[in-house]
């Protein structure tokens, strides 16, 4: 495991990768912070450099077009939900229920919420774009205030 830090407008972010790709992007002290990291080594790697460049572009108000290579570590269901999150357009939102219905008519929004909540690659896999059915800003491991900031930031910079 390899790590680097990134200073964002929302505080320090920990970036983590393995030989396959990016495995984590966490705000400092967020829920599930550094989940699964064992004996990390601070080292510059191509994928971590690409992630910093992606974040620089994102926080400059531009929508990055190409994601760094990722190594998604989770269940099949979690991976399916995370892939759906990647389809939510910049500056837009979807509800947990909308995502659940994309998977199955009988899928529960709570199951989707659990998978969204365990997304380890914050911002790049845009879990901040998922909201409650009543448009409430619920459940963001990085904190509701960061979720609110990211949504307003994207809306302001939407093309």
If 0-12 CB within 10 Å is exposed, 13-18 middle and 19+ buried, where does residue 116 land?
buried
DSSP state of 127: G
Q: Is 65 among the residues known to form the active site? A: no
- Counting Cα atoms < 13 Å in the Cβ hemisphere of 59 gives 15
Model's pTM, two decimal places? 0.92
Structural fold of domain 2-59 = Double Stranded RNA Binding Domain (3.30.160)
**For the segment 41-96, what is each residue's pLDDT rounded down to a tens digit?**
999 999 999 999 999 999 999 999 999 999 999 999 999 999 999 999 999 999 99
**For the segment 9-24, what is each residue's pLDDT rounded down to a tens digit?**
999 999 999 999 999 9
Q: CA-CA distance, 137 to 68, in Å (whole number)?
A: 27
Catalytic residue among 13, 25, 127, 141: 127
Res 99 pLDDT > 80: yes
Containing 116, the helix (H) or strand (E) segment is helix 109-117
- Domain ranges in the chain are 2-59, 76-157
Which CATH number, 3.20.20.370, 3.40.30.10, 3.40.1380.10, 1.10.10.10, labels domain 76-157?
A: 1.10.10.10
**For the segment 107-158, what is each residue's pLDDT rounded down to a tens digit?**
999 999 999 999 999 999 999 999 998 888 887 888 899 999 999 999 998 7
Q: What is the pLDDT of residue 25?
A: 96
Question: Please, are residues 4 and 15 in contact by the beta-carbon 8 Å criterion?
Answer: yes
Q: State the Cα angle at 152 between 150 and 155, rounded to 5°.
A: 105
Containing 57, the helix (H) or strand (E) segment is helix 46-59
Question: Please, are residues 35 and 24 in contact by the beta-carbon 8 Å criterion?
Answer: yes
Q: Among all chains, which residue has been given the structure tokens 């609110």?
A: 148
Task: Give the SS3 label for residue 130.
Answer: strand
Cα dihedral 17/60/7/34 (nearest 10)? -40
Q: What is the pLDDT of residue 38?
A: 80
What does the mean pLDDT of the chain come to? 93
Structure tokens at 44: 């510059």
């Amino acid at each position: 495991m390899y790590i680097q830090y990134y200073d964002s407008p929302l505080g320090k972010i920990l970036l983590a990768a393995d030989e396959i790709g990016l495995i984590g992007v966490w705000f400092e002290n967020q829920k599930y912070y550094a989940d699964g990291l064992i004996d990390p080594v601070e080292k510059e790697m191509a994928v971590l450099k690409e992630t910093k460049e992606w974040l620089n572009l994102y926080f400059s108000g531009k929508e990055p077009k190409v994601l760094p290579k990722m190594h998604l570590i989770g269940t099949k269901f979690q991976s399916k939900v995370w892939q759906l999150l990647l389809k939510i357009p910049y500056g837009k939102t979807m509800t947990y229920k909308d995502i659940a219905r994309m998977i199955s008519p009988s899928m529960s929004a709570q199951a989707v919420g659990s998978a969204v909540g365990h997304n380890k690659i914050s911002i790049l896999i845009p879990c901040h774009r998922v909201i409650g059915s009543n448009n409430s800003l619920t459940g963001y491991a990085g904190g509701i205030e960061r979720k609110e900031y990211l949504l307003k930031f994207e809306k302001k910079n939407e093309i």
